Amino acid sequence: MIPSLSAGTKVLVLGLTGRMGRAHAARMRAYGTNIVGGTAIRVGTAEEQDGLPIFPDITAAVAATGARAAIAMTPPGGTRAAAESAFAAGISLLVTVAEGVPVHDALAIGRAARAAGVTWVGSSTPGLAVPGATKIGFLPDVALRPGEIGLMSKSGTLSYEVGYRMAARGLGQSLWVGVGGDPVKGTRFADLLPVFQADPRTRAMVLVGEVGGAEEEEFADALTATRGAKPVLAVIAGREAKEGVSMGHAGALTWGEFGTYASKRARLTAAGARCFDNVEALVEALAQG
């Protein structure tokens, strides 16, 4: 469903009555996202909030609004149940933002999404956006600018820094997807390669990776196997990461040779991606065309 996102895409907010749900729904609407309603954190507490209908459950919300996209603003322990209900109700794009979802829960959500043939972005992501049209999540407006670069990132804040510096130079994004920093997730870098390849608005891709896991290596393999791939520019955080300790993100964990900066950089470079030492050098190269 990601390629068809537009200003008209109807979006539901699961947990709309919570502190986070309410605040971010307001910010998304201010950006132009077509929020059509949501569900309450506690069932039966409200029927309407800020002019948006609150439905008793996701099934009722989908039936009443026809929305196929949803964002879950639920706590980590409640994310699995929320996701399973959303898939059962017919949601085909689900974004979950909670940080700290147990890995085996993420495994169950990922398997359910795969069985239902739907797209899950998360577990812990700042969301995604088609700048100028819609954003589902909390990517900050100062970093969003319509353009022709496809941006994908594990880290929220680091992608904000990239988007912000791009915007300062008049560069923008065709589509921006935060895949999140957890080890098990719904949408991985390699899943996005065909999306960006097929998207006529996208001229080049920026991959903002970080140490831990094997996602950058998988992306490199997919890139090698893609004929006529668009240019890929990459930066990887965590060159100085400490071994054996999660660096903020649960997925940012290295041990021995596994998940290291050197491994990722070598594989991406061999696949034809241009890897940069820092964000400034990457944005400078983008500006050069």
Partner 1 sequence: MLLIEADGKALLARHGLAVPRAALVRAGEAAGFCLDGSGPWVVKAQVPAGGRGKAGGIVLCRTPEEVEVSLARLLGTTLRGHPVTACLVEEAVCGAAEHYLSLMVDPAGLGIRIAWSRAGGVEVESAAPPAACTTSPDEAAILAAAEEILATADPAERTALRGAVRDLARALLAEGLLLVEVNPLFIGSFGTLAGDAKVVLDLNLAEGQADLRALVLARPDAYPDAVRKLQEGFDYVELDPEGEVGLVTTGAGLSMVVVDEMTAAGLRPLNFCDLRTGQLRGDPTRLVRVLDWISARPSVCVVLVNIFAGITDLGEFGRLLSDALDRTGLRLPVVARLVGTGAAAGRAELARRHPGVIVEDDLLAAVARAATLCKP
Binding residues for partner 1, rule: CB under 8 A, are 76-77, 99-104, 107-108, 110-111, 114, 126, 138-140, 142-143, 153-161, 164, 181, 183-185, 188, 190, 208, 210-211, 213-215, 218, 235, 237-250, 252-253, 255-258, 277-280
Yes or no: say if 254 and 243 are a contact pair by the CB < 8 Å rule: yes
Residue 64 or 168: the one with the smaller Cβ distance to partner 1 is 168
Q: How far is the CB of 219 from partner 1 (least distance, A)?
A: 11
At 281, is the secondary structure helix, strand, or coil?
Answer: helix
Q: How far is the CB of 259 from partner 1 (least distance, A)?
A: 11
Residue 76 or 90: the one with the smaller Cβ distance to partner 1 is 76
**Dist. CA 65–CA 86, nearest whole Å:** 14
Strands 127-130 and 173-178: antiparallel
Q: Which alpha helices (DSSP H) does 186-243 contain, by range?
A: 189-198, 215-224
Catalytic residue among 165, 185, 249, 267: 249
CA 101 to chain CA centroid, Å, is 15
Residue 3 or 77: the one with the smaller Cβ distance to partner 1 is 77
Q: How far is the CB of 258 from partner 1 (least distance, A)?
A: 7
Yes or no: say if 153 and 205 are a contact pair by the CB < 8 Å rule: no
Residue 47 or 277: the one with the smaller Cβ distance to partner 1 is 277
Residue 153 exposed, middle or buried by CB count within 10 Å (0-12, 13-18, 19+): buried
**Dist. CA 156–CA 219, nearest whole Å:** 19
Question: Count of CB atoms within 10 A of residue 103's CB?
Answer: 12
Q: How far is the CB of 251 from partner 1 (least distance, A)?
A: 8
Residue 28 or 62: the one with the smaller Cβ distance to partner 1 is 28
Residue 17 or 159: the one with the smaller Cβ distance to partner 1 is 159
Residue 257 exposed, middle or buried by CB count within 10 Å (0-12, 13-18, 19+): exposed
Q: Where are the strands (E) in 59-172, listed by range?
A: 69-72, 93-96, 119-121, 127-130, 134-137, 146-153
Q: How far is the CB of 176 from partner 1 (least distance, A)?
A: 12
Q: How far is the CB of 161 from partner 1 (least distance, A)?
A: 6
Q: Has 24 been annotated as catalytic? A: no
Question: Count of CB atoms within 10 A of residue 238's CB?
Answer: 22
At 45, is the secondary structure helix, strand, or coil?
Answer: coil
* Enzyme catalytic residues: 249
